[in-house]
Amino acid sequence: MKNLFKYATKELSQDAFLCWLFANYDCEQEEVSIFSRYMLSWLISDSLSIENSNLITSVDVVKQFKNIDILIKCSFQGVLYVIIIEDKINSTEHNEQLNRYKDIIKNHYNTSCQKRYVFFKTDIIGKEEITNLNAYSEWKIKQVKDIFEVFQTFLKSNNKKDFDNEILHYYYENLSNIFNAISNRPQKVSDWQLHSWHSFFEDYTPICGLLYNTEIRAYQKQYYYYKFIIDGHEKDLPSIEVRSRDYDKEKNTLKFRVVVYNVEPNNITAEIITEWKNILTANSIRVCNRKDITKNKQIGIFKRHIKGDNEKALKNVFDKVGHLLKALFAL
């Protein structure tokens, strides 16, 4: 049977799974109820202990309380805990969400209860994102590897390889696929899925001696994106972009786009664009006149063959593209 979670990729689907799991802390299916309390005790104490899970005696789950994804009130060792979960898959924190939600809970609940703030994400958390999240000192960051470890440790402690419950089985299977794609990228680039591309983009380090800003954007269910930018020239020089969907598996080639952002008549003139196009054409890069959204202009497209179906060959292509960008604009 096909895995439901392969298709249910929205955060609301994961919200529903977590609410279902925690609401069933005392259900008749022993595996579900024990694992529910096991994960709750982990969210509270960071420890993975079956004994601790037995100390949870009541659970109340509320979805979308004042825009907070999940709010859980539970009794652990006779103490009332309020846990809020900000659940993410393809997005990240924005608009001071975490500070706002923390303040809501502190104002709504008195000081007699313990509070836990959990950022729960089942996708790659990039280096820049980690830095931003670490600024929220009271929040616990739970990444794919952390969540996967909870499932694995529970199964090992029960001498099992998989869950009997179908919902837990499918969620664990999907989580395993994500974890493996991130942590154990296949040797062949042609075997990569979206998460493998994302983790490669995260791990890739631009060539020494060249200054770049790199930016990774995850577009839900579509592709992962990497941008080469000459440091200090985000607004006045083109960048080079590549997306995971620009990889041609059959031909083993990658397509790159030369793009300039925020094109304004008073900022970047038509003469400058023409000059850049001449530079690109002289370097055998096909130029184009397509205008993208938000005043961005795509001014060139080129392809590079990857000499080998492996990560080293792909890195070599990225390095050459970095040199090309630097050489194009003589900086």
Residue 229's pLDDT is 86
Mean pLDDT (the chain, rounded): 87
How many of the other CB atoms lie within 10 Å of CB of 133? 19
Q: Read off the pLDDT band of 326 (50, 70, 90).
A: confident
Residue 195's pLDDT is 85
Residue 210's pLDDT is 67
**Residue 270 contacts residue 248 (beta carbons within 8 Å):** no
Q: Read off the pLDDT band of 53 (50, 70, 90).
A: confident
Q: Indicate the burial class of 230 (C-beta count within 10 angstroms; 0-12, 13-18, 19 or more).
A: buried
Secondary structure string (H, E, C) spanning the chain: CCCHHHHCCCHHHHHHHHHHHHHCCCCCCHHHHHHHHHHHHHHHHCCCCHHHHCCEEEEEEEEEECCEEEEEEEEECCEEEEEEEEEECCCCCCCCHHHHHHHHHHHHCCCCCEEEEEEEECCCCCHHHHHHHHCCCCEEEECHHHHHHHHHHHHHHCCCCCCCCHHHHHHHHHHHHHHHHHHCCCCCHHHCCHHHHHHHHHHCCCCCCCCEEEEEEEECCCEEEEEEEECCCCCCCCEEEEEHHHEECCCCEEEEEEEECCCCCCCCCHHHHHHHHHHHHHCCCEECCCECCCCCEEEEEEEEECCCCCHHHHHHHHHHHHHHHHHHCCC
Kindly list the domain boundaries of the chain, sorted by start residue.
Answer: 4-183, 190-328
* Residues 75-110 as b or e (16 or more Cβ within 10 Å = b): ebeeeebbbbbbbbbbebbeeebbeebbebbeeeee
Residue 222's pLDDT is 66
Across 122-143, average pLDDT: 87
Residue 291's pLDDT is 60
* Rounded Cα distance, 174 and 180, in Å: 10
% residues pLDDT > 90 (the chain): 49
The reported pTM is 0.79
- Above 60 in pLDDT, residue 93? yes
Domain covering 4-183, topology: Trna Endonuclease; Chain: A, domain 1 (3.40.1350)
Residue 78 CA, chain-centre distance (Å), reads 36
pLDDT tens, residue by residue, 257-315? 998 876 665 567 778 888 888 988 988 899 887 665 456 788 899 999 999 999 999 99
pLDDT tens, residue by residue, 195-240? 889 889 888 888 776 666 666 665 555 678 888 888 777 777 888 9
% residues pLDDT > 70 (the chain): 90
**Residue 256 contacts residue 241 (beta carbons within 8 Å):** yes
Pick the CATH number of 190-328 from 2.60.40, 3.40.91, 1.10.287, 3.30.1460: 3.30.1460
pLDDT tens, residue by residue, 99-127? 999 999 999 987 788 999 999 999 888 77
Residue 230's pLDDT is 83
Residue 221's pLDDT is 55
